[in-house]
């Protein structure tokens, strides 16, 4: 591997911008998926699944905190990012804009959407930007269990009743195109790949994702949906086509609005 980059001062302005956008997209996606998972902490079909869902939700929350903290070196205020943004400012994957209203929707988010984030994270596991690389490994170790949980439940739903199988297929069909678009156009991130910051372009990561998910989906007796890619409205900074953002209620919970409503006003801490 070429030399490590330990400081943002050693990154070009273009690389700095690209890393900022990538980390923010991952952090926001993990923050939102953690909140959406939390809706199922007491609603999963069995006790063990409740426990697993709770733990997975906390993992995602932890990952997002690690990632937001990294953005401090890239000119952001993590406190503002976590607690003071409107939904339209979120750069989370569009496939998470709606609540996970049913258990099959939870399972598809867990098996498919979460895995897309992991494929992107894996592309950073050999990044020359050391502060990022050093925070990726632990997240990947935890993600191994998230993916196993999602895949096992997808198999279970796929081999269950017709109603369960068709609800799972519908949830899959509903998110598939948005997940594929999240990786960006085929040459997206080519400059970062050349600079050794990431190891795959948008097209390469999308291929990795589809190759990994295909056997999981088919192994569950489901069909891999088809998708027409169209990036005409796609914004490379937010990795989204719309700027309305995730569910406002989910964002309010992610920001901790209700917690702060109980705070007693105090003087501003000295900087």
Partner 1 sequence: MAEQVYVVFARKNREDPLHHIGSVQASDSELAKVYAWKTYDEERWFEMVVAPRNAFYPVNREEAPFDITRRGAGTPEVT
Binding site for partner 1 (CB under 8 A): 46-49, 51-52, 55-56, 145, 148-149, 151-153, 155-156, 159-160
Q: How far is the CB of 38 from partner 1 (least distance, A)?
A: 15
Token output for 215: 């056997």
Q: How far is the CB of 51 from partner 1 (least distance, A)?
A: 5
3-state secondary structure of 235: strand
Nearer to partner 1, 51 or 130 (CB): 51
The string over 39-56, giving b where at least 16 C-beta atoms fall within 10 Å of a residue's C-beta and e elsewhere, is: bbbeebeeeebeebbbbb
Q: How far is the CB of 56 from partner 1 (least distance, A)?
A: 7
Token output for 231: 């990036």
Q: How far is the CB of 119 from partner 1 (least distance, A)?
A: 19
Nearer to partner 1, 51 or 126 (CB): 51
Token output for 251: 């964002």
Nearer to partner 1, 126 or 148 (CB): 148
- Answer yes or no: are the C-beta atoms of 234 and 241 closer than 8 Å: yes
CA-based angle 130:142:2, to the nearest 5?
A: 20
Q: What is the rounded distance in angstroms from the CA atom of residue 186 to the CA atom of residue 206?
A: 8
Nearer to partner 1, 86 or 145 (CB): 145
Q: How far is the CB of 112 from partner 1 (least distance, A)?
A: 16
Q: How far is the CB of 152 from partner 1 (least distance, A)?
A: 4
Nearer to partner 1, 150 or 202 (CB): 150
Q: What is the rounded distance in angstroms from the CA atom of residue 171 to the CA atom of residue 99?
A: 12
Nearer to partner 1, 48 or 270 (CB): 48
Of 10, 3, 14, 4, the closest CA to residue 134 belongs to 4
- Residue 182's H or E segment, with its range, is helix 162-182
Q: How far is the CB of 240 from partner 1 (least distance, A)?
A: 31
Q: What is the rounded distance in angstroms from the CA atom of residue 67 to the CA atom of residue 110?
A: 20
Token output for 137: 């490994």
Q: Which residue has the tokens 């269990």?
A: 145
Show Cβ contacts of residue 206 under 8 Å, excluding neighbours closer than 6 positions.
180, 183, 186
Nearer to partner 1, 76 or 142 (CB): 142
């Amino acid at each position: 591997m070429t030399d490590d980059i330990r400081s943002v001062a050693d990154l070009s302005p273009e690389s700095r911008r690209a890393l900022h956008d990538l980390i923010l997209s991952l952090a926001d996606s993990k923050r939102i998926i953690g909140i959406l998972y939390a809706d199922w902490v007491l609603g999963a079909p069995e006790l063990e699944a409740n426990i697993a869902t709770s733990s997975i939700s906390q993992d995602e929350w932890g990952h997002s905190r690690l990632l937001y903290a990294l953005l401090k070196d890239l000119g952001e205020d993590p406190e503002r990012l976590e607690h003071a943004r409107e939904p339209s400012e979120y750069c989370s994957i569009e496939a998470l804009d709606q609540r996970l209203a049913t258990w099959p929707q939870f399972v598809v988010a867990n098996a498919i959407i979460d895995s897309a984030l992991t494929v992107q994270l894996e592309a950073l596991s050999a990044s020359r930007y050391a502060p990022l690389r050093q925070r990726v490994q632990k997240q990947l170790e935890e993600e191994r269990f998230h993916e196993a949980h999602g895949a096992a439940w997808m198999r279970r739903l796929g081999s269950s009743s017709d109603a369960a199988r068709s609800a799972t297929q519908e949830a899959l069909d509903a998110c598939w195109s948005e997940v594929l678009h999240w990786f960006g156009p085929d040459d997206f991130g080519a400059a970062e790949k050349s600079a050794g910051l990431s190891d795959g372009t948008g097209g390469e990561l999308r291929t990795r994702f589809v190759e990994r998910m295909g056997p999981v989906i088919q192994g569950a007796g489901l069909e891999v949906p088809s998708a027409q890619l169209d990036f005409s409205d796609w914004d490379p900074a937010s990795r989204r086509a719309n700027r309305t953002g995730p569910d406002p209620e989910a964002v309010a919970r992610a920001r901790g609005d209700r917690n702060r409503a109980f705070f007693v006003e105090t003087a501003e801490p000295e900087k």
